[in-house]
Structure 1
Amino acid sequence: MRIDMRTMRCATALFLALVLGACAHVNHLRDAQQTFSETSALENQSRSGGGTVPSSVQAGYSSVVLSLQKLEQDGDSEKRLKADNLWGNVQMLKALAYWRMGNYDKARAARSQVGSSLPPGSRDHALSMALDGFIKNDEAFAKLQQPTGDLDEIAKLVLSADDDLNRASKTLPGAHALNSYLALNGLGAMSNLSVACAQLSTGGDFSKANCFSNRGGPCRVKAWEDKLKALGVADAEVKAVVGKLSTTCPAATPAPGQ
């Protein structure tokens, strides 16, 4: 089973709900979150059905960015959001919207404004750590669609992405729902590596037969598989997600992050 990162990343909307009060600046943020969630759901539905993503998806994410920029331009709202410890959430939501628009530089720039405003162990703090991994996965997937791809370049991207996702996951409590999403993205990275090995490997130690295993793919897949099972995901569902990716990890070889 090929794990399509374009579809998997749509699950981000599941993790954007905040319990917020009724102040105007907070309502503005809540409305932006709602728009993001609705846009993500539409994108997910379109991609899952194999159809063309409607232009309203890009427009929806653009609307989120514009809405948040208005908050930033309102000095009073900015002060109130910072006082309520929500400024980092504003920047992270904007970063996610830019990511989904494919504007990776602006996504990283918005994330850089988060600073230390998000408490370690929180969902948005983990998302801020995982953002580079999300982007690298998308970049690797895009390179796989090109007529001539570079195996080493793609492998470097996906292995680095997997490391980013592992680091983000470690900041969360084990049963946190976001861990499931990070695991799916990690498996997506490994799927990209597997496809790159099948399509681009030419010989030597990284021949098609050894390319995936020699780059540590099976151990990384096994680590994410174990995480999904620990989260209570049914075995049949885990197998459906992992698909044909190898999980034969030598016992003496520690999984990434272990």
Structure 2
Amino acid sequence: MKKYFHLLLASTLLLLSSCAHLMHLDRAQNTFNQGAELENKLKFSPQSEVAASPESFYAMAYAEVKNALKQESQLKEDQLLGNAYTIKALCEWKLKKYDDAIKTADDAVGSFLQMESNGIRMPRDKAVMEALPFIIQIDKSREHFLDLPPPEKSSFADAQSHYLAVIADPDSLDKAETLIHAINQLEAARQNVKHNYELSTYFLLSELAALKAWSDCNGYLSDCIAKGKAFSNTDERKKAVKFFTDQDKAFVSKKDSLMIDLGKILPDGEENVLYKYWKIVM
């Protein structure tokens, strides 16, 4: 009986060790989802007393997925390596480890491409990983904006330099690492997943989040004209006003186009709560 018990214990430990990567991956997925759910809840109904933060869930999920990836060969054998990289990249994004997230997203895409060569397709996760660098660019643009000094302590020239580098350069609209480039890339990604309602809606909402950052920067340009350091002459001020007006027209055109798309994609169209939210925010 004692010998049987030892054999049973040994086989149980062997089984647990052989599927440990699956347990870690499952925990990572569940914990990340808890963090995302809490983040969305707090976004629309902020609460001062919350037992845990979304970041704490993302950190726990990150630890779990890194443990899962210690058995990378097993994950690959189980056709789960791309999934693990996906969760890892999403955790790194949420934890603001942007460079790591972009690299891991690239690893995930590579893994999915390898799976496709074996006849296994993961189109949703692959599309998200391909789009992640542009979603990250939106977050970085927003963070750059928050670092700007108050308009009263800035000049239009400084605000314009920031705009050209981070938001959009009218002379090079496809300039990498600008907000407008991220919007254009997400637009292309959305067109490629039209058949997937959940994913196309997510990409559209990401574009709208980018537009909010664009709107804030346009407001900053306007405030710098009105409240910032004085212009040296009238011509400088006229050029500043023209630059702002042109950029605001471009923003309004894009906003109107995306709001039409949002009205088409949401149940109840313009009566949907989400549509009304974005209409107010913009």
TM-score by length of 1: 0.73
Identify the residue that residue 73 of structure 1 maps to in structure 2.
70
Within-5 A mapping of 1:104-119: 104-118=98-112
Secondary structure in 2 matching 1:243: helix
Q: Is the 8 A contact 1:65 1:94 kept in 2?
A: yes
Identify the residue that residue 10 of structure 2 maps to in structure 1.
none
Superposed displacement of residue 124, structure 1: 0.8
Mark the CA change 1:110 to 1:163 in structure 2 (over 3 Å): closer, same or farther.
Answer: same
Measured in 1, the distance between the counterparts of 2:187 and 2:78 equals: 30
Within-5 A mapping of 1:105-144: 105-118=99-112, 122-144=123-145
Measured in 2, the distance between the counterparts of 1:55 and 1:99 equals: 19
Mark the CA change 1:141 to 1:96 in structure 2 (over 3 Å): closer, same or farther.
Answer: same
Alpha-carbon displacement from aligned partner over 1:2-44 (angstroms, at most 9, x marks no partner):
xxxxxxxxxxxxxxxxxxxxx6543432221110010112222
1:151 to 163, 175, 179: 163
Within-5 A mapping of 1:43-82: 43-51=39-47, 56-74=53-71, 78-82=72-76
Measured in 2, the distance between the counterparts of 1:220 and 1:86 equals: 39
Whose relative contact order is higher, 1 or 2, with alpha carbons under 8 Å and at least 6 apart?
1
Mark the CA change 1:235 to 1:134 in structure 2 (over 3 Å): closer, same or farther.
Answer: same
Task: Decide which moves more: 188-197 or 48-57.
Answer: 48-57
2:247 matches 1:235 = no
Mark the CA change 1:172 to 1:155 in structure 2 (over 3 Å): closer, same or farther.
Answer: same
Alpha-carbon displacement from aligned partner over 1:189-212 (angstroms, at most 9, x marks no partner):
1121122112125415322x3322
User: What is the number of equivalent residue pairs in this alignment?
Assistant: 218
Identify the residue that residue 37 of structure 2 maps to in structure 1.
41
2:81 matches 1:95 = no
Identify the residue that residue 188 of structure 2 maps to in structure 1.
167
Alpha-carbon displacement from aligned partner over 1:27-83 (angstroms, at most 9, x marks no partner):
432221110010112222233334568764322211111111111112xxx233223
Measured in 1, the distance between the counterparts of 2:109 and 2:75 equals: 15
2:259 matches 1:225 = yes
Instruction: Kindly report the root-mean-square deviation, in angstroms, between the aligned alpha carbons of the 2 structures.
Output: 2.6
Identify the residue that residue 179 of structure 1 maps to in structure 2.
200
Secondary structure in 1 matching 2:74: helix
For structure 2, the 5+ residue unaligned runs are: 1-18, 150-158, 169-177, 226-239
Mark the CA change 1:242 to 1:106 in structure 2 (over 3 Å): closer, same or farther.
Answer: same
Secondary structure in 1 matching 2:111: coil
Measured in 1, the distance between the counterparts of 2:111 and 2:128 equals: 13
Percent identity at matched positions?
A: 23
2:22 matches 1:26 = yes
Measured in 1, the distance between the counterparts of 2:215 and 2:143 equals: 15
The residue type equivalent to 1:125 in the other structure is K
Superposed displacement of residue 226, structure 1: 3.6
Identify the residue that residue 242 of structure 2 maps to in structure 1.
205
Q: Is the 8 A contact 1:121 1:172 kept in 2?
A: no
Mark the CA change 1:245 to 1:40 in structure 2 (over 3 Å): closer, same or farther.
Answer: closer
Specify which structure has the higher proportion of helix.
2
Q: Find runs of 4+ consecutive structure 1 residues off by over 4 angstroms.
A: 51-55
Quick check: which has more Rg, 1 or 2?
A: 2
Q: Is the 8 A contact 1:129 1:165 kept in 2?
A: no
Mark the CA change 1:223 to 1:79 in structure 2 (over 3 Å): closer, same or farther.
Answer: farther
Superposed displacement of residue 106, structure 1: 1.2
